């Protein structure tokens, strides 16, 4: 069986940046499982896995356009410290979820000043070329319920 539309695919992965630093990995965890063709994973990786078999090893570099997009400087904003009510200490690198008209957005604290906090609404991996090393562990047909939901169970 090959990776194609409406298959549920499981794989182990290691994700590195241009410098070779590991950003994320499934090592020591269950493999990542997704419904192929449903946009559950970034487009560049989904394309690279198309047609592969269980047991295949795949190395792929994905440009930002096919991953988390390019950085948008307009998403770096100063917000009043009072917006973080109930948070005792705010430090650079901390991440918060914010409800926006476009859904939940992750904000990363860049800088803390007296009364303001500079936050970056870009996805932490925006603007990065992502280097994936993937081992496909399992491929199966999706169930009717999974197809209806648009994700793997």
Q: At its nearest, how many Å lie between Zn ion and the CB of residue 146?
A: 7
Residue 57 makes contact with Zn ion by CB under 5 A: no
DSSP string, the chain: -B--TTEEEEEEEEEE-TT--EEEE-TTSPPEEEETTTT-S-HHHHHHHTT-BTT-EEEEEE-GGGTT----GGGEEEEEGGGGTT-S---TT-EEEEEETTEEEEEEEEEE-SSEEEEE-S-TTTT--EEEEEEEEEEEEPPHHHHHHTS--
Residue 47 makes contact with Zn ion by CB under 5 A: no
Q: Given the complex with Zn ion, which of 6 and 78 has the nearer CB atom?
A: 6
Q: At its nearest, how many Å lie between Zn ion and the CB of residue 150?
A: 8
Residue 149 makes contact with Zn ion by CB under 5 A: yes
Residues making contact with Zn ion (CB under 5 A): 149
């Amino acid at each position: 069986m090959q990776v194609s539309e409406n298959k549920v695919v499981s794989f182990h992965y290691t994700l590195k940046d241009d410098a070779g630093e590991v950003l994320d990995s499934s090592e020591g965890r269950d493999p990542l499982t997704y419904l192929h063709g449903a946009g559950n994973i970034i487009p560049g990786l989904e394309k690279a896995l198309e047609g592969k078999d269980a047991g295949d090893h795949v190395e792929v570099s994905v440009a930002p356009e096919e991953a988390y997009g390019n950085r948008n400087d307009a998403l770096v904003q100063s917000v009043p410290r009072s917006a973080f009510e109930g948070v005792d200490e705010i430090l650079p690198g901390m991440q918060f979820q914010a409800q926006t008209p476009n859904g939940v957005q992750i904000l990363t604290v860049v800088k803390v000043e007296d009364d303001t906090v500079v936050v970056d609404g870009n996805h932490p991996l925006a603007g990065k070329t992502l280097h994936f090393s993937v081992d496909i562990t399992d491929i199966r047909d999706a169930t009717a319920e999974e197809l209806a939901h648009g994700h793997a169970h």
